[in-house]
Amino acid sequence: MTGAPYVLLRAEEEELRSHEQQSHSIPPSQPRLASLDVFRGFTVALMIFVDYAGSIIPFVAHAPWDGLRLADFVMPFFLLIAGISIGLVYKRVSHKIIATRKATWRALKLFFLGIIIQGSKDEDDKWLGMSQMAYIISI
pLDDT tens profile 65-101? 778 888 888 989 998 998 898 888 888 888 888 888 8
**Alpha-carbon span 50 to 48, nearest angstrom:** 6
Quickly list H helices, 71-138. Answer: 74-92, 96-118, 130-138
Compute the distance between CA of residue 103 and CA of residue 33 in angstroms, rounded to an integer: 21
Distance CA 48, CA 42 (A): 10
Pick from 3, 24, 2: nearest CA to 94: 24
> Catalytic site residue 62?
yes
Higher-pLDDT residue of 90, 133? 90
Q: Does residue 126 surpass a pLDDT of 70?
A: no
Choosing from 19, 24, 62, 95, the catalytic residue is 62
Please name which of 17, 30, 25, 14 lies closest in space to residue 94, comparing C-alpha atoms: 25
Mean pLDDT of the chain: 75
In the three-class reduction of DSSP (H, G, I as helix; E, B as strand; rest coil), residue 86 is classed as helix
CA angle 132–137–139, rounded 5-degree value = 95
Q: Note the pTM of the prediction, 2 decimals.
A: 0.60
Q: How large is the average pLDDT for residues 35-55?
A: 91
